[in-house]
Amino acid sequence: MRFAIVALAVVLLAPFAASAEKVQCRQYNQQITYFEAMIDRADAAGKSDWADLYDDKVDQIKHDREAECPGYGAAEQAAAQWREIMKLAAQGAITWFTMGAY
């Protein structure tokens, strides 16, 4: 009986854990956007030391995002780029082999 209650709780609470993960990833993206804007402002003001500090902060946030958010790791991004290349190659092959009919 206890197992059924625990299993039911896990099934019911799993979407909340996934949505919390999405919220954290969205916060990382917002922080990166904010600090990149601050880097631009520091460069425009001639404050290279501030720009370096913000750049370090952006690097740290990106590192955290890679570790915690799916789809932002180096291997996942390389796989996505490879899929795009294969999609373009397939479209080119279809055009080539159908002599431009598709």
- Give the residue among 71, 75, 65, 73 at the shortest CA–CA distance from 30: 65
pLDDT in tens, 28-80: 999 999 999 999 999 999 998 999 999 999 999 999 998 888 877 777 778 88
Alpha-carbon distance of 25 to 35, in angstroms, equals: 15
pLDDT of residue 22: 81
Within its chain, how far is the Cα of 67 from the centroid? 10
